[in-house]
């Protein structure tokens, strides 16, 4: 028996009455959770010291990424020890990378942070993974990756006072409350440099840094994977040996500082997540205002640029201000070697954050407009394959490829509109290369390859998708666990080899199946969820032991949920929440009630007989309802839903809408701690 179960007598409670063998997807879901709980223990025992220091020398965002989704895994129902391991590792990593001192026992960890947040650059000679002095980690491509673990801690346990304080301090660096980090210009509504952090904007690079960012790592071949930024049109064709002549080197470095660093780029829209994260803890209106002000500023720039999101603005917020009016060429922009890959991450994150905070679907234009733009410039290959441009440069639109599913899936999940369904249908109709019903077994980050099968399922064309995605995740998870067990290296060899330790926790399939949502944007996206679950008997988030969940229908005003208790001996209780952060509201729940289970006294006769089922409709008009699952029962719930009508919060259902530590001390279960 767990201490301090939560009792919420005013909450609508439903009881499952259908006794049944658990479906295959339900058993797979529980097996996957158990497997990854075990794998987390193995990973930490083999690749980290007992205090949480990972045996890996790299940028701090990559260290955080080793446990980026462990807090989410706990919030889905994993054992508390998974969260404790993640917290231990995050705190140990943050301490070891503090810029004030060099850790005496872990010399491979180099100074990277100030005030527990990203500093500006790794000192020359301090990075074993990259050439000395050529690596920044304070752009939002990298900040976003590293912040995922921290965001997930709010989902897992919003009452950790230290994390609440951090959330406020990190947001202060962007809303103008931290004088040591004057990153934001409220007059022109820009973040003052694409590279910034806890010490403010970075406005002066050196030659080594400029080589890396203009030439893509010259040591491995001139522009071997393309450029991150250009000086175009001021310098249209940069010569390969520009840094060999001191005068030319100084000129190019000066131009880089003036053109690339002196202004803002849409990639920094990722900062909306760190400020939204603070709002979810505190409900402070200043955080909401800043997110909307910054998102509105970029929407306005896009509209003033004929519907194209400009990838650079200057120090007064003008499009192409340092580039003679040219709207492309900025860092991580349209001419970046990955094309839309990085910029679209932040557009998605900002659109989702602004919608979450307002319920205003107009903010989805940040993303929708750019997808429509690409499709307007699409080409059709001879075999009928639809191709869209992924880059824009001196010759116009270029790099035509099939459009990935990542952004389309997020846009449609946010809106569930006919307009956005039509965009996906257009891409599907023109797809000759990809099998949309196939579910790959891969630890993808942002490709969206598993979103094809999920879309098909809800479109009625891939009925066994839940089982397929869970099988695919299990296959990868068990392969990862096996590889770790077969790794016979000692600690000294692991440190010397400096290979990235595996992350054996996969939350993509669990999020898709149980929460009815696409996987969060890997680069800084907050959780997407149509519904979430909480365990009142253990006063914690996540599915209770033995319980599996499947969202089997998604519509603008309803959600279908299957809940299964795979235990044949224990009753389980759970709370269902509308939305990841309580942003939605249930209207009513329809379900079927079976006759008295006492009829099972004669199992064979019971199985042969006609069972009495009665349709029930229960008004809810709330963000939560509770479900009791007696042993070996299943229930399907058809729940009416009003989307984005509540202010979002990290607060647990028994916090009364407040998520701060003060609420924990004064709330209805004062003194309890989640288990």
* DSSP 8-class letter at 280: H
Would you state the structure tokens that stand for residue 421, as one six-digit string? 């369904």
Share of the chain above pLDDT 90, in %: 80
Which among 457, 460, 438, 459 has a CA at the least distance from the CA of 449? 438
Question: Who wins on pLDDT, 108 or 670?
Answer: 108
Question: For residues 418 and 355, what is the distance between their CA atoms, to the nearest angstrom?
Answer: 18
Q: Label residue 660 by pLDDT band (50, 70, 90).
A: low
- The structural domains of the chain, with segments of one domain joined by +, span 13-22+530-648
Whether the per-residue pLDDT at 5 is higher than 60: the answer is yes
pLDDT in tens, 533-568: 999 999 999 999 999 999 999 999 999 999 999 999
pLDDT in tens, 338-357: 889 999 999 999 999 999 99
Whether the per-residue pLDDT at 134 is higher than 60: the answer is no
pLDDT given at position 595:
78
Q: Label residue 136 by pLDDT band (50, 70, 90).
A: low
How many Cβ atoms are within 10 Å of 95's Cβ, its own excluded? 16
pLDDT given at position 387:
99
pLDDT given at position 228:
85
Which among 383, 375, 381 has a CA at the least distance from the CA of 408? 375
By the 8 A CB rule, do 516 and 558 touch?
no
Q: Which of 117-131, 462-476, 589-603 has the highest mean pLDDT?
A: 462-476
Among 131-145, 286-300, 383-397, the least confident range: 131-145
Whether the per-residue pLDDT at 220 is higher than 70: the answer is no
Would you state the structure tokens that stand for residue 374, as one six-digit string? 């690409």
Whether the per-residue pLDDT at 132 is higher than 50: the answer is no
Question: For residues 116 and 51, what is the distance between their CA atoms, to the nearest angstrom?
Answer: 18
Which among 355, 363, 281 has a CA at the least distance from the CA of 664? 281
Q: Label residue 112 by pLDDT band (50, 70, 90).
A: confident
Tell whether domain 13-22+530-648 is in CATH 1.20.1740. no
């Amino acid at each position: 028996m767990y201490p301090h179960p939560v009792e919420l007598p005013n909450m609508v409670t439903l009881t499952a009455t259908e006794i049944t063998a658990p479906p295959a997807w339900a058993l797979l879901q529980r097996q996957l959770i158990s497997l990854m709980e075990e794998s987390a223990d193995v990973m930490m025992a083999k690749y980290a010291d007992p205090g949480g220091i990972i045996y890996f020398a790299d940028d701090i965002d990559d260290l955080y990424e080793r446990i980026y989704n462990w807090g989410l895994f706990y919030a889905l129902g994993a054992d508390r020890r998974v969260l404790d391991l993640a917290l231990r590792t995050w705190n140990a990593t943050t301490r070891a990378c503090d810029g004030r001192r060099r850790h005496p026992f872990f010399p491979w960890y180099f100074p990277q942070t100030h005030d527990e947040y990203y500093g500006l650059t790794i000192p020359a000679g301090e990075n074993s993974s990259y050439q000395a002095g050529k690596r920044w980690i304070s752009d939002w491509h990298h900040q976003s990756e590293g912040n995922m673990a921290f965001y997930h801690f709010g989902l897992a346990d919003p009452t950790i006072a230290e994390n609440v304080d951090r959330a406020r301090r990190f947001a202060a660096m962007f809303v103008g409350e931290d004088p040591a980090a004057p990153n934001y210009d409220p007059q022109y509504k820009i973040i003052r440099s694409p590279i910034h952090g806890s010490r403010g904007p970075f406005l002066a690079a050196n030659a080594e840094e400029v080589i890396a960012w203009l030439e893509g790592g010259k040591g491995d071949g001139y522009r071997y994977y393309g450029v991150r930024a250009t000086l175009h049109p001021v310098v249209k064709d940069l010569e390969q040996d520009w840094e060999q002549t001191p005068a030319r080197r100084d000129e190019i470095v000066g131009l880089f500082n003036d053109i690339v660093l002196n202004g803002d780029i849409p990639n920094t829209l990722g900062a909306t997540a760190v400020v939204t994260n603070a709002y979810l803890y505190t409900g402070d209106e200043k955080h909401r205002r800043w997110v909307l002000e910054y998102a509105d500023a970029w929407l306005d720039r896009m509209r003033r640029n004929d519907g194209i999101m400009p990838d650079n603005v200057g120090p007064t917020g003008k499009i192409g201000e340092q580039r003679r009016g040219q709207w492309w060429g900025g860092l991580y922009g349209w001419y970046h070697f990955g094309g839309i890959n990085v910029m679209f991450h932040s557009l998605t994150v900002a659109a989702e954050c602004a919608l979450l905070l307002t319920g205003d679907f107009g903010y989805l234009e940040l993303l929708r407009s750019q997808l429509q733009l690409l499709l307007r410039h699409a080409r059709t290959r001879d075999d009928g394959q639809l191709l869209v441009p992924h880059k824009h440069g001196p010759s116009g639109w270029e790099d035509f490829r099939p459009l990935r599913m990542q952004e389309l899936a997020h846009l449609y999940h946010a809106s569930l509109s006919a307009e956005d369904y039509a965009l996906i249908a257009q891409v599907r109709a023109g797809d000759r290369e990809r099998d949309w019903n196939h579910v790959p077994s891969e630890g993808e980050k942002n490709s969206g390859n598993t979103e094809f099968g999920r879309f098909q399922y809800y479109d009625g064309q891939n009925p066994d998708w839940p089982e397929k995605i869970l099988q695919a995740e299990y296959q990868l998870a068990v392969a990862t666990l096996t590889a770790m067990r077969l790794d016979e290296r000692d600690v000294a060899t692991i440190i010397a080899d400096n290979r990235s330790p595996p992350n054996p926790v996969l939350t993509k399939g669990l999020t898709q199946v149980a929460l009815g949502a696409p996987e969060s944007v890997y680069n800084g996206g907050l959780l997407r969820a149509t519904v979430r679950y909480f365990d009142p008997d253990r006063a914690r988030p996540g599915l209770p032991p033995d319980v599996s969940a499947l969202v089997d229908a998604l519509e603008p005003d309803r959600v279908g949920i299957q809940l299964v208790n795979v235990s044949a001996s224990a009753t389980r209780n759970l709370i269902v929440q509308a939305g990841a952060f309580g942003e939605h509201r249930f209207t009513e729940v329809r379900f079927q009630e079976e006759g008295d289970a006492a009829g099972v006294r004669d199992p064979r006769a019971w199985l042969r007989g006609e069972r009495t089922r009665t349709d029930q409709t229960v008004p809810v008009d709330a963000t939560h309802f509770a479900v009791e699952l007696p042993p070996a029962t299943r229930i399907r719930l058809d729940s009416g839903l009003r989307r984005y009508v509540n202010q979002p919060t990290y607060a647990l259902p028994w916090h009364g809408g407040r998520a701060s530590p003060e609420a924990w001390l004064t709330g209805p279960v004062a003194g309890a701690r989640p288990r």
